[in-house]
Amino acid sequence: MPQPNGISAKPDGSETAISQPQIETSNGHDPGIGPRQNLADLFAPFERLANWLLPYALEQQDGAHDDSHLVRVFNNAMRIHAQEGGDGEILAAAVLLHDCVHVEKNAPHRAQASRLAADKASRLLNEAHWPDIRIEAVAHAIVSHSFSANQPPQSLEAKILQDADRLDALGFIGLARTFAIAGRLGGQLYDHLDPCAERRPLDDRRYALDHFATKLFKLADGFQTATGKAMARQRHERLQLFHAMFLEETTGAKPESNFYLSF
């Protein structure tokens, strides 16, 4: 496997220079970013770290977990990191490997996905001779980022990763990913007989709209950092707006006027 030759962050957040081959994507396909920029460049100032880890970042790609998801989570994490602090290299490594083991959303062992990813990340970093304390920090961040794992984050980097990943489940990106996953798993958009589940149990494996009540509307209350909370509030309002307007178009129910004002 490629070796990082002791990648480490300088005090200014940049990295020590190492020699690594350049890659375009985490699985070899063209993500559409153009010929003059490769995927690793989007993880500045940790391009070399990204260039090493991206080949291991995703076992498979779908509409919700792909190269673009990694970039978005990284951008969220760096935005929070700029305000909250923390170790940028540990955070970048955790972002790059947080989905490195694929377990389908409807799989019975879904709750173990982040633990499996942390174990794989630990092996990769150990083979590259990272210090144990830094490997443990990356692994903890990966384990605790997952909603289904129910493991509270303890370190600042873990809190930032959890916030950064959950931000990608909110706002317009979050709703796009929700419907993409529902379609891939054979779900329906909504229950036309009872769209708000007033006379039936919520079932987000069958109806995409139910996922707003079962998970998405709950996410904004669980953010760990002040910066993450502020970003989540705005994206939560966008979800509320979409949900209200979706019901207006499908049932004729008029949304409250403040939904429009919140966008």
Q: What is the CATH number of the domain that holds 251?
A: 1.10.3210.50
pLDDT in tens, the chain (263 residues): 444 444 444 444 444 433 343 444 444 445 454 444 699 999 999 999 999 999 999 877 776 678 999 999 999 999 999 999 999 999 999 999 998 887 665 555 656 788 889 999 999 999 999 999 999 999 999 999 886 667 889 999 999 999 999 999 999 999 898 898 888 888 999 999 888 888 999 998 899 999 999 989 988 988 999 999 999 999 999 999 999 989 999 988 776 544 443 43
Task: Please work out, in degrees rounded to the nearest 5, the angle formed at the alpha carbon of residue 39 by the alpha carbons of 17 and 104.
Answer: 120
| Residues 121, 199 within the same domain | no
| Residues 211, 251 within the same domain | yes
**How confident is the model at residue 258, as a pLDDT?**
45
**How confident is the model at residue 2, as a pLDDT?**
41
Other beta carbons within 10 Å of 70: 26
Tell me the sheet residues that pair with 207: 188
| Residues 230, 190 within the same domain | yes
| Residues 60, 114 within the same domain | yes
| Residues 145, 201 within the same domain | no
Residue 231 burial by Cβ neighbours in a 10 Å radius (0-12, 13-18, 19+): buried
| Residues 43, 147 within the same domain | yes
**How confident is the model at residue 7, as a pLDDT?**
45
| Residues 121, 45 within the same domain | yes
205, part of any domain: yes
**How confident is the model at residue 136, as a pLDDT?**
97
- Give me the domain span that covers residue 246: 171-261
| Residues 175, 230 within the same domain | yes
83, part of any domain: yes
Please, are residues 240 and 259 in contact by the beta-carbon 8 Å criterion?
yes
| Residues 138, 64 within the same domain | yes
59 φ, ψ (degrees, to nearest 5): -75, -30
Tell me the sheet residues that pair with 188: 207
**How confident is the model at residue 151, as a pLDDT?**
81
Q: pTM higher than 0.85 for the full model?
A: no
**How confident is the model at residue 111, as a pLDDT?**
63
- Cite the DSSP H helix spans in the chain: 47-53, 67-84, 88-97, 113-127, 132-145, 156-167, 171-184, 210-211, 217-219, 226-251, 257-261
**How confident is the model at residue 15, as a pLDDT?**
42
